[in-house]
Every structure is written in structure tokens, then in C-alpha cells.
Structure 1
Amino acid sequence: MTDITLYEQRGEIAHFVFNRPQARNALTFEMYEHLYQAVLRVNEDRTVKALLISGAGGKAFAAGTDIAEFRALNSDQDCIDYETKIERILSALEQCRVPTLAAIAGACTGGGAAIAACCDLRLAASDAKFGFPIARTLGNCLSVANYGRLVHLIGAARVKDLIFTARLIGAEEARMFGLVGEIVAPEALMARAEELAKTVAGHAPLTLSATKQALLRLRPPMETGADLVVMCYRSQDFQEGMEAFLAKRPPNWTGA
């Protein structure tokens, strides 16, 4: 792995860090792939008992997919392949052999929030902000699988609230929603996250694994939603959203 992500094992805890603080840890395809490889590594290493994911710099866990990556989506199949690739990674994280924890400081939006939603436990610094502001920024959509994860986690009404208003919610509201289980001061986040990871790592692994798998089996199977992905990602609005975002101006939505 390169220094855009970091992987280190400390005792029984594997630490994975998104390491682009200068870009608010915006996720490149390479960073997504590094996360996938980290999960595979954890699955193979029986000395690891928990995986702790965080973002470097204290300003963001991960601020979504880097806009530059979307420039490569030039056909319907490119768009479908993008969501298929991301789903492969998120599904692997969700089914990781060991408990996964997200330590969230600052912005946790878009793809970053989707990653956090796949973790078993989430704790946040008091300055954390969560959301999927795509209706205000790019005009794209989530995959059906990600809508399903969020509905399973916080309910359909709150998913609509987040998507339709495109607002970012603070840590306290995120806890009320069920997005995070605990809030700590920013300077105490990593120490508390490591403490929680060690607690979980010390518990019966088969009990934790059975619980993870049982909850996944309770979730109904999802359709692919490829038609919805193509509709949004191949639209004039999505192109306008990207151009407006990069130019730091409001987009002119047309619904086409």
C-alpha cells in the first residue's frame, strides 16, 4: 500500500487509516481498493481480533469519492461497473471476519459515510458531520445496496430526510438517528476507539461472528438498481453537478 492509506497492527487490533488529509481524505479508487485488501489481510491473519478504521488529520473521516474519479465514467457500463466495484468492497467490509469499528472525526460524507455504515460499531468526535449531500452537489444516487444498508440502520424516513434535504447532521443528531453509538471529545477519539476495540477483541469471536452474520441474513436481498445508477450518472445534471462543484458555483438542475 502507498501512503494514501496506512495499515498497522498493534497487538490484536489492525488500524487502517485514510491518509489524504490535504483533500479531506476524499476517496480515490486506489484507496477503496486498499481498504478491500486490508479486509482480506485481516481475514487471513488470525492474530487480528478487530479492525479500526479512521481518517488522518482530524478534519475528515472521508469526504466521499474524489470527484476526479467520476471523470472516467463515460458509458452506461462504466457507471454500473463503478457501483459494482464499490459494492464488492463494502460487502467485504460488512462481512469482515472480525468486528469493525469506525472512529469518525470531522466530515463523514458520501462514500465515507457508506463505509462507516458498513462497520459494526461507530463512535464519533463531537465535531463530526454526517450526510449524503448528493442532491445538492452532484446529482447522482446511491446504489440500491447502500440505500438498503441505511434503511436497515436508521429507517426509511431518516434516509429520505438525509437525501432529500442534503443536509449534514452533527454528532448528537447522528447518535439520535442511530448512526453512531458514542460521542467523545475530538482529542479523546482515538484513545477511546482503541479502548473499545480492545474490549471487543477480548470477547468470544464466534458469538460476535454469529451475531454479524445473523443480522446480515435478516436484511432482505436487494435488486441491483443498475437502471437508477445509469439514469443519474449518465444524466446532463450529473455533468452539470461535477462542473459546478469544481467551479464552486451552484448547479443549474434541469432534470435531464
Structure 2
Amino acid sequence: MSADTPSDAPAEDLLIHRDRIGPGVLEVTFNRPKRRNAFTTAMYQQMRDLWGAVAADRSVRVVVLRGAGGQAFAAGNEISDFLEADAVDYENWIREMFDRLWSLPQVTIAAVDGVCVGGGLAVATHCDLRVATVGSRFGYPIARTLGNALSGTVLYRCQAIFGESLTREMLLASRLVSADRAYAAGALLAEVPDVEALEAEVAALAHGILQASPVTIETTKRQLQSRARELEGSMPGEEDLLREVYGGPDFAEGVRAFLAKEKPAFGG
């Protein structure tokens, strides 16, 4: 697999580098700092393609994901993209990308510096390990912003990583969780003071993984994934429920207000 993977996404929106930290380490940087690295459809497509290529390339041992700019890992999705497709079908398509990421045989590390919300948090919770700077924050404030809902599998990943209490706080109270609390809950492997310490921690973590047995790592990941799949199945009728949400007045108001840069007036 080459360092430059063909895609419709502008090359500057997703930066891909290999072997800078060490042989077998692939780095993926979300590079839209002026938009807090919000994901576009083209970026999602490139990630879908990339995870397929990485899964088949056993010379890659570690995948590191990070956001550019020092303000955000990734702050959700580019909302205007929802207007160009059926919202539920779009969410299902994105969820397939999350599953490809989560199913990788390699160890995946989310290096978080700044806000990690919405789609960014979904990516981070589908990684194996998370490391963050002290000022980072995590959440799904969608009840106050868009009036949509998460798919069951994305919700399960958040609950599995952050615990039910913090997941309820994120979604029901629309509060962002600090790095301190995320670390205390076990959602983070490490909390570090600044970006320099973050890079040092990620490098040390990657180098340790490179010295480990690939057989042990891949077998353990398969065992963990198998057990999680038994627990995270979607609830009966979930797609119909999500279609009601995305076709309802609150989501329409949320998108309108977001694009107009106004506070939404939800009516339910």
C-alpha cells in the first residue's frame, strides 16, 4: 500500500504518512482546521477505501489518527452534506466506515488534541486506544445542535468506552466531558499536558506495539470484536425510528439553524 491513496477527497483534507514514527506506523491526519476538521463525504469515502487497503497490508502494524490545527480532533460532520442524500442512508454508509476501522487487525490509536465530538468521537471510540491532551473535550451535543440521533452501534461504542453514566451525560444533558473525567473513566490510556507530550506518548506507545507479537495482537482483537458484536446488535425497528428522527421537524430546524448560524428552536 502506498502512502498516497487515490481518492476523490482533496489531498489536503486527509494527510497520510507512513513510517515517520517507525517502520509499520501509518499516520492519518484530518486536515480541515478552519472547519475544526469536520468530516466531508469525500473524506469518509477516502477513509473507507483506506481501511480496506490497510486491512490487507500486514506490513502496517499501527495506525495513528489525529486532527490538525490544535483546536479539534474532529468536530463532527459537514452538515451541508446531509442535504445532498437520504440522511439515514448516509448515516448507514458512514457506519460501515466505522466498522471497517474497528475491524482492522492493526492497533489503532486516536491522538486527541482539542474538541472530539460527533463524528470525531465516533471515530475515536472505534479506535483501540485513545490518548489526549489535558484540554481536550468529548461529547455528542446533538440534542442542542441538530436534533438527530445516533445509530445503535455508534451509541454502543460510546457506552463501551466511556461507560453508561458519561454517555448519558453527553447525550441527555448535552455536556462535553473533560479529558480528566475521560481518563478517570478509563476511556483514555493517557492524559498529557500538551501536544509535544502527546506526540511523545504516541511514539512510545507505537514503538512498544511494534515490539509485540502480531499474532497475540490480532487474536486478541478478533476475540474482543467477536464478543462486542454479540452485544451491540441494533434494536428491532431502529432504521424506521431513525427515519422518523431525520424526517422530523427538529432535525429540519437543527440543520436550518446550523447553516444560518442561529440557535435552533426545537419543538419536538
Give me the TM-score of the superposition, normalised by structure 2. Answer: 0.89
Q: How many residues align?
A: 251
Q: Whole-Å Cα distance in 1 between the matches of residues 115 and 242 of structure 2?
A: 24
User: 2:174 is matched by which residue type in structure 1?
Assistant: A
Deviations 1:133-166 (A, max 9, x none): 0001000010011112122223333221110011
User: 1:31 is matched by which residue type in structure 2?
Assistant: M
SS of residue paired to 1:3: helix
User: 1:91 is matched by which residue type in structure 2?
Assistant: D
In structure 1, stretches of 5+ residues that fail to align are none
User: 1:49 is matched by which residue type in structure 2?
Assistant: R
Deviations 1:171-230 (A, max 9, x none): 101112332121112232123212211211221111111211111222214126212221
Paired position in structure 2 for 1:29: 41
Paired position in structure 2 for 1:239: 252
SS of residue paired to 2:17: strand
Percent identity between matched residues is 36
User: 2:204 is matched by which residue type in structure 1?
Assistant: E
The correspondence of residues 7-156 of structure 1 with structure 2, limited to 5 A, is 7-10=16-19, 11-73=23-85, 78-156=86-164
Whether the 8 Å contact between 1:25 and 1:62 is mirrored in structure 2 is yes
In structure 2, stretches of 5+ residues that fail to align are 1-6
Deviation at 1:53, TM superposition (A): 0.5
Give me the TM-score of the superposition, normalised by structure 1. Answer: 0.93
Q: Whole-Å Cα distance in 2 between the matches of residues 151 and 187 of structure 1?
A: 27
CA RMSD between the two structures: 1.4
User: 1:200 is matched by which residue type in structure 2?
Assistant: I
SS of residue paired to 1:37: helix
Most deviating of 91-100 and 144-153: 144-153
Whether the 8 Å contact between 1:7 and 1:38 is mirrored in structure 2 is no
1:186 to 185, 190, 194: 194
Q: Whole-Å Cα distance in 1 between the matches of residues 144 and 185 of structure 2?
A: 21
User: 1:70 is matched by which residue type in structure 2?
Assistant: F
User: 1:228 is matched by which residue type in structure 2?
Assistant: L
Paired position in structure 1 for 2:204: 195
Q: Whole-Å Cα distance in 2 between the matches of residues 110 and 191 of structure 1?
A: 27
SS of residue paired to 2:218: helix
Q: Whole-Å Cα distance in 1 between the matches of residues 247 and 185 of structure 2?
A: 32
